[in-house]
Amino acid sequence: MPLPASVIINSIAVVGHVDRRVYGHFIEHLESCLYGGIWTADGRQMRQDTLALIRPLRPPVVRYPGGNFASGYHWEDGIGPRESRPTRFDEAWKVNEPNWVGTDEFMAFCAAVGAAPYLCANDASGTPEEAARWVAYCNDPPTTEQGRRRAANGHPQPYGVRLWGIGNEVWGPWQIGHTDAAGYVRRYRQFAQAMRAADPGIELVAVGMFIPEGSAGQEAETWNATVLAGAGDLMNYLSFHVYQPGMEGWEEAPDPEAVHRSICAAPLDIEAGIQRLRGLIAEYARGWPIRLALDEWNVWPAPPPEATSMHGVVYTLRDALYVAGVLNVFHRLCRRVPLANLAQLVNVLAAIRTNATQAIPTAIYFPFLLYQQMEPLALWPAVECPTFDAPALGNIPAIRRVPYLDVTRP
């Protein structure tokens, strides 16, 4: 049955400028994201069919090398001649990592698709000195020790990497280097000071937590408050991660219509969580220009029974609507969230899937293709339309009065 709706857009009701980095992506040394996805299985060259799909997205920024992988990664294993790079056991994903793809290969990929690099430093099994050397390797002129090292590997010009994360989900017990908030603050300050000594112009991203509604959010609220109060003077962004609805809650094979409603409503839960995080920044880091980075996010429905991995989901139009809804949240809150990274770009909860002979866009590829063409100015429209109620599913709470029509503003 047709539903009545009206939209009025006022061209002078400006919300703000949309930072194109909210259309960012993420790649990790996980399953076939890199080997067999962006690069050939032997890591010797980038796949041209994959690049042909990535380039139209004009990805503004790509996060690397993880993710969980980052907490066990030592960047110096992945530079220099291939034959001299060691194979290491990856404790995060329990596989051998040949290090065929490393810093220089990732930078070549960014150049090939026109993306800015965003590197995540290992604060868990790594050291501040190791991270500072990585900054210098990427950003020093070819006249310093690390600059000469980079030049010897065939890249005399500095890469100029501005975005650097310190750690990944270190609040989680699955993470190498898991610690409490106070422990992370101590580590973060050491890393931040060493990395900024190598290059004072870099921007730093600290590990935060998404705050769910109600009493479930107390742990996250405490983490964020401690990190902001203890290290707010040394960060540019507080990050958080959201995967909805997650792997829980599918055991009873919920009704497809209910699933559709829950997933389409879920971006409103992210929007409310962002507002809670902004309140904490105002309370515990007043005076510091800290903004938010949703540097891992995606819709994560249950994979089909035949899937060989928990990341092997099949995306549909429903999931594309979810992605569009999250991008609309970024537009509404453009003054608060200038940086975001879909997890991930290829083969892992992916916008693009590959097999041995071709690269194929999934349903969630197309919102990015459309949205990156929009003008980067967010406006306030007046929208009137019916609403629906969405039931709880997985980590998505029940949400009432969800508008059938979600209007983006650029």
Tell me the torsion sign for CA atoms 241, 338, 63, 282.
Answer: negative
105 classed as catalytic: no
Q: 404-407 long-range contacts, Cβ below 8 Å, gap at least 24? A: 404/3, 404/5, 405/5, 405/7, 406/267, 406/324, 406/325, 406/328, 407/7, 407/328, 407/381, 407/383
Query: What radius of gyration, in Å, describes the C-alpha atoms of the chain?
Result: 21
Tokens of 340: 């975001």
Joined together, the tokens standing for residue 61 give 């920024």
CA distance linking residue 266 with residue 273, whole number of Å? 11
| Cβ neighbours, 10 Å, residue 375 | 9
CA separation for the pair 107, 409 (Å, rounded): 33
CA 83/CA 88 separation, integer angstroms: 14
Q: Which of 28, 97, 105, 169 is catalytic?
A: 169
Helices (H), 57-119: 103-113
Quick check: is 129 catalytic?
no
Closest CA to 342 of 360, 305, 315, 379: 315
Catalytic residue among 296, 306, 375, 384, which?
296
DSSP 330-350: HHHTTTT--EEEEE-SBSSS-
207: left (phi over 0), alpha (psi -120 to 50) or beta: beta
Instruction: Name beta bridge partners: 196.
Output: none
| Lookup: tokens for 35 | 């080997």
- Residue 338: Cβ-neighbour burial (10 angstroms; 0-12, 13-18, 19+): buried
**Cα–Cα distance, 19 to 404 (Å, whole number):** 26
Q: Write out the catalytic residue numbers.
A: 169, 296
